[in-house]
Every structure is written in structure tokens, then in C-alpha cells.
């Protein structure tokens, strides 16, 4: 959790994405405790309710789970879940952005597909 907050996205989304990235990078391991909302609030100088909102997104996704009275932990299988979640987000967000830009440039669907086919993945 060392990244800096930026201005172009909701703070709570940034918090949830930072935790996700830490899980993907093996900085936070499955079944390990993550920082509390109060710890996150103080670290990033944000309201604890905002930090909690970011953490709760991951609880709803089943990436974190609560142990009553102890704290928040990384769930088993979290790494795989994050991959799937980010893949969906990629299709929903980035692809829409790409298509909007293509539309204003007058790029046709065929032209776009042809361009993608030329790229290596």
C-alpha cells in the first residue's frame, strides 16, 4: 500500500484497486490480514468511511472477508477472482473508451478488427 492517490478517480475505488494490486503482486497473501479502515484512513489522510467503502467493494466481491473482532483478511482464491474481475472491467471500460474514440475518428469496425489482428498479444 505505497502508491499515491491521484485526482482522476474516486478515492474508494483507488483504495480497492491498490489492495487488489497488492494481492496480485503477492504483497498481501491469501489468508493474511489487510490494514484496517482506520489504518488506511491515517495512511492516506482520507475519511475512514471512504476507506471502508473501498474495502467493502472487495468484501462484496468475495476477495476479502471479515473475521469478527479481528479484522479483514484476503480470501482463498482471491488472486483468481481479481483476474476475472479485471478482465470484465477491461471489456466494459477500456473497450467502450476505445470504441468511442474510434467512432469520433471515423474508424470502421472492420478497420479496427484488422488493426487488432496485426498486433501480437
Partner 1 sequence: MSFLRCENLSKSYGQKVVLNELNLELESGKIYGLIGRNGAGKTTMLSIMSNQNPTSSGMVTLDGDNIWENRKALDRICFSRELNITAESGLAAYTVKRYLGAAALYLPHWDKEMAAHLMQSFQLDPKAKLGKLSKGMLSMVTIIVAMASKAEFTFLDEPVAGLDVVAREQFYKLLLDEYTETGRTFVISTHIIEEAADVMEEVIILNKGKIILKENTQDLIDRACYVTGLAEQVDQAVSGLECHHPESLGRSKGVTVLLKSGEHIGSGFDVTVQPLNLQKIFVALCGEEAQ
Residues that bind partner 1 (CB under 8 A): 5, 7-12, 38, 41-42, 44-50, 53, 103-104
**Cα 4 from Cα 111, distance rounded (Å):** 38
- Closer to partner 1 by CB, 54 or 64: give it: 54
The smaller minimum CB distance to partner 1, of residues 22 and 50, is found at 50
Measured in degrees and rounded to the nearest 5, phi and psi for residue 35 equal -55, 145
Closest approach of partner 1 to the CB of residue 12, in Å: 6
CB-wise, 8 or 110, nearer to partner 1?
Answer: 8
Q: How far is the CB of 90 from partner 1 (least distance, A)?
A: 19
Sign of CA dihedral 70, 22, 45, 8: negative
Smallest separation (angstroms) from partner 1 to the CB of 47: 5
Burial level of 55, CB count in 10 A (0-12/13-18/19+)? buried
Amino acid at each position: 500500500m505505497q502508491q499515491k492517490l491521484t485526482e482522476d478517480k474516486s478515492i474508494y475505488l483507488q483504495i480497492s484497486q491498490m489492495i487488489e494490486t497488492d494481492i496480485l503482486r503477492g504483497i498481501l497473501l491469501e489468508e493474511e490480514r489487510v490494514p484496517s479502515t482506520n489504518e488506511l484512513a491515517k495512511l492516506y489522510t482520507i475519511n475512514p468511511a471512504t476507506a471502508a467503502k473501498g474495502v467493502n467493494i472487495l468484501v462484496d466481491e468475495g476477495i476479502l472477508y471479515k473475521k469478527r473482532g479481528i479484522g479483514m483478511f484476503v480470501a482463498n482464491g482471491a488472486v483468481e477472482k481479481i483476474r476475472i474481475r479485471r478482465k470484465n472491467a477491461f471489456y466494459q471500460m477500456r473497450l467502450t473508451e476505445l470504441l468511442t474514440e474510434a467512432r469520433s475518428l471515423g474508424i470502421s469496425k472492420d478497420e479496427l478488427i484488422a488493426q487488432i489482428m496485426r498486433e501480437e498479444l
